[in-house]
């Protein structure tokens, strides 16, 4: 004889796959209606091989020395401002 405590769980386990299957049969949203005419008629972009994308970034330096110096100066300024905020008294 089944236990009364396990019957609701068993029923849920039997009904859940049916509900998931019915949910999958639902009509997808009308995403085409959200596109403008210009976007709908636009050409597809050219596909670029992944090797070409990664080779371009490996050859180029991400930062040059001027960028590095500017970044270090900005970091020092932000640290100084953070120290000022830590020592500031806030009167409430």
Pair 71, 63: CB distance under 8 Å: yes
What pTM did the predictor assign?
0.32
Locus of tokens 């806030």: 90
Number of helices and strands in the chain (H, E): 4, 0
pLDDT digits (tens, 9 = 90+) for 44-78: 989 988 887 777 665 566 667 778 888 999 999 99
Residue 23 — very low, low, confident or very high, per pLDDT cuts 50/70/90? Answer: confident
How far apart are the C-alpha atoms of 76 and 74, rounded to whole Å?
5
pLDDT digits (tens, 9 = 90+) for 5-19: 678 888 899 999 999
């Amino acid at each position: 004889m089944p236990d009364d405590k396990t019957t609701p769980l068993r029923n849920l386990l039997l009904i859940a796959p049916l509900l998931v299957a019915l949910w999958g049969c639902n009509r997808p949203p009308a995403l085409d209606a959200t596109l403008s005419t210009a976007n709908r008629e636009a050409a597809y972009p050219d596909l670029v091989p992944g090797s070409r994308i990664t080779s371009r970034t490996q050859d180029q330096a991400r930062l040059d020395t001027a960028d590095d110096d500017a970044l270090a100066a900005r970091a020092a300024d932000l640290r100084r401002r953070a120290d000022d905020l830590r020592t500031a008294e806030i009167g409430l």
